[in-house]
């Protein structure tokens, strides 16, 4: 039996440029954002506010959803690998069917003809005849080949952009936008300044996101080199959300 297993994606916090299909299977338990009381105090200090229990729960829900989405992003198979596997199966199926049909090589009463009879006996469903079982088997192989062709066409839609595949980094963008709206709706600091290089001169919102990312798994962080890189990442995420009209786009 043919076996194929997708290689796990490399560990990196850089956005992959690979085009991916719109589905992913994620193994293992859900990852949850669970700051300690001292973590919450540090997060609140970074933004310069004090959160209520409801505020903390909303932030936790935003991060939990991000954890789930980013894992899907990283595990979604590439269009290239998925298509290569389908085309390989299609090629095998077509070659198999061609051999079954023995086009131009069939002679009544030859060895292969009797081989087909013996094989058909093993394929026969009670109440049917042997030649019906053989023909039904070839029909199913033909249907399989047609299904492979249809699957390839669907995968190509992710390649050319007709279907929305999983785009690595979009989960981080959605998280930034939701945190921005969370802050703006409560009149918490939400502006981002890219002028400051030192930690003391960075904006509260940038420091807020930096303090959150310190608690993230290493491969879930982005733009974490320094405060300026993170501020630029936040600005880019907000622009991207508006460009693609995401459901959680920045509220004015």
Contact indicator for 73, 166 with CB cutoff of 8 Å:
yes
Least confident of 3-7, 81-85, 130-134: 3-7
Whether residue 130 has pLDDT greater than 70: no
What integer pLDDT is reported at residue 167 of this predicted model? 73
Q: What are the CA-CA distances from residue 162 to residues 18, 84, 150, 159, 169 (Å)?
A: 16, 19, 15, 8, 20
Nearest to 190 by CA among 48, 40, 37, 45: 48
DSSP letter string over 100-131?
A: HHTTT---TTSHHHHHHHHHHHHHPPTTS-HH
* Residues 6+ positions from 233 with CB-CB distance below 8 Å: 176, 222, 223
Task: Quote the pLDDT of residue 231.
Answer: 92
pTM of the model: 0.66
Examine the pLDDT at 11 and tell me if it is beyond 70: no
pLDDT of residue 179: 97
- Which has the higher per-residue pLDDT, 113 or 140? 140
The β-bridge partners of 20 are 78
pLDDT in tens, 140-196: 999 999 999 999 998 888 776 655 656 778 889 999 999 999 999 999 999 987 654
pLDDT at 252 over 60: no
- Inter-residue contact 143 to 96 (CB < 8 Å): no
pLDDT in tens, 206-240: 999 999 999 999 889 999 888 889 999 999 999 98
**Cα–Cα distance, 178 to 155 (Å, whole number):** 31
- pLDDT of 12: 43
- Of residues 29 and 84, which shows the higher confidence score? 84
| Distance separating alpha carbons of residues 124 and 137, to the nearest angstrom | 10
239: CB partners within 8 A, 6+ apart: none
DSSP state of 219: G
State residue 31's pLDDT score.
82
pLDDT band at 106 (very low <50, low <70, confident <90, very high): low
For 200, phi and psi rounded to 5 degrees? -65, -25
Task: Determine the average pLDDT of the residues in 123-148.
Answer: 81
Task: Tell me what the pLDDT averaged over the chain comes to.
Answer: 81
The overall longest dimension of the chain from CA atoms, in Å, is 90
**Predicted local confidence at residue 200, as pLDDT:** 44
The pLDDT of residue 224? 83
Q: What is the mean pLDDT of residues 47-52?
A: 96
Band (pLDDT 50/70/90 cuts) for residue 23 is low
């Amino acid at each position: 039996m043919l076996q194929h297993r997708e290689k796990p994606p490399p560990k990196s916090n850089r956005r992959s440029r690979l085009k991916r299909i719109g589905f992913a299977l994620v193994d293992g338990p859900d990852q949850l954002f669970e700051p300690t009381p001292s973590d919450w105090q540090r997060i609140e200090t970074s933004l310069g506010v004090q959160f209520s229990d409801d505020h903390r729960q909303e932030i936790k829900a935003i991060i939990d959803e991000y954890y789930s989405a980013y894992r899907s992003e990283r595990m979604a198979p590439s269009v290239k690998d998925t298509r290569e596997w389908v085309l390989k199966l299609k090629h095998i199926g077509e070659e198999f069917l061609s051999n079954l049909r023995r086009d131009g090589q069939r002679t009544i009463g030859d060895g292969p003809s009797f081989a087909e009879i013996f094989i058909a006996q093993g394929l026969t469903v009670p109440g049917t005849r042997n030649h019906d079982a053989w023909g039904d088997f070839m029909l199913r192989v033909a249907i399989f080949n047609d299904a492979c062709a249809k699957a390839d066409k669907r995968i190509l839609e992710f390649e050319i952009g007709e279907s929305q595949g999983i785009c690595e980094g979009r989960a981080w963008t959605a998280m930034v936008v939701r945190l921005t709206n969370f802050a703006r709706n409560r009149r918490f600091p939400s502006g981002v300044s890219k002028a400051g290089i030192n930690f003391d001169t960075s904006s509260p919102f940038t420091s807020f996101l930096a303090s959150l990312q310190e608690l993230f798994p290493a491969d879930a962080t982005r733009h974490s080199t320094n405060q300026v890189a993170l501020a630029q990442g936040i600005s880019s995420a907000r622009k991207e959300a508006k460009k693609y009209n995401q459901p959680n786009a920045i509220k004015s």
